[in-house]
Amino acid sequence: MTTMTKWQTIQLNEEHSSENVYMIELNRPEAMNSLNTLMGIELVECLKFLHTKEDLRVLVLTGSGEKSFCVGADLKERKGMTNIQWKQQHDIFEDAYQLLREFPFPVIAAVNGFALGGGMEMLLSCDLRYVADHVKMGLPEVKLGIIPGVGGTQLLPRAIPIGLAKEFLFRGNHIDAQKAVESGIVNGKFAKEELLPNTMDIAKEIAKNAPLSLKAIKKSINTGLQTDINTALTIELDQYYKCANSEDRLEGILAFNEKRKPDWQGK
């Protein structure tokens, strides 16, 4: 396994880079992978760094250990913060989550344990979500006198029916992996020992597809959902012709007819 040690709270696994898949691991297991200021800063740095990796096609995000994916902000660090300090920290978190949502290629969450508060908002910021069968998740902010602040009230109602999302947010309760699958919050669940292998298999399958197409699909969906249907279809058509007029489209058709795997260039 090839791992960069540039960061203290983030590990970047490049083991599968030859298959165009990279994995970020949140690395504060002693604190349930809670998000402190340093992790926020390092997550921003890591995501910006990954923008420079020309071979990246799919990004997988997980937590270290088997107990916790991320339990949100580190409340021990937040104890005694002034309003200004709180805002300064939250600005960093906002930047990190925006980079995650707007990452050009598919991002898959492999949720290996508790995903609470900002941890659940982190998985909601990913494109696909797979969970271990012992996972529990929740947005308990209402019990702490705040509300989700990095996407929870907006991303959850876009993932599941509004009534279910409101109940989830108003109650601030936890749900288990099976309920998360049934409600549509996540794509599937696996036994904990099978979570990463199965998630990586899915990531590698996706990574074999045309990179321009992957980027175009993500941009079409994420941008189009915020508009009316006619505008959305115009967005889709614009992305369609970016792919249709590419060298990769020529290669894809040629490879199909020659009965071989395409050699994508991302051009």
Every domain of the chain and the residues it spans: 3-207, 211-257
- Residue 240 and residue 41: Cα distance in Å, rounded? 35
Q: What are the tens digits of pLDDT across the range 193-209?
A: 999 999 999 999 999 99
Residue 99 DSSP code: H
Q: Which CATH superfamily is domain 3-207 in?
A: 2-enoyl-CoA Hydratase; Chain A, domain 1 (3.90.226.10)
Label the pairing between strands 188-190 and 107-111: unpaired
Q: What are the tens digits of pLDDT across the range 92-108?
A: 999 999 999 999 999 99
- Residue 138 and residue 166: Cα distance in Å, rounded? 12
CA 196 to chain centre: 15
Q: Residue 4 pLDDT > 60, yes or no?
A: no
Query: Across-strand partners of 68?
Result: 114
- What is the third-level CATH fold of 211-257? Lyase 2-enoyl-coa Hydratase; Chain  A, domain 2 (1.10.12)
Mind telling me the catalytic residues? 121, 141
Q: Residue 71 pLDDT > 50, yes or no?
A: yes
Q: How many CA atoms lie within 13 A of 116 on its CB side?
A: 20
Of how many residues is the chain composed? 267
Q: Name all contacts of 6-12 with Cβ < 8 Å and 24+ positions apart.
A: 7/42, 7/45, 7/46, 8/38, 8/42, 9/36, 9/38, 9/39, 9/42, 10/39, 10/42, 10/43, 10/46, 11/64, 12/46, 12/49, 12/50
Determine the 3-state secondary structure of 29 from DSSP.
Answer: helix
Q: Which of 1-5, 165-169, 200-204 has the lowest mean pLDDT?
A: 1-5
Residue 208 DSSP code: T
Q: What are the tens digits of pLDDT across the range 105-133?
A: 999 999 999 999 999 999 999 999 999 99
Residue 71 identity: V
pLDDT at residue 1, as a whole number: 43
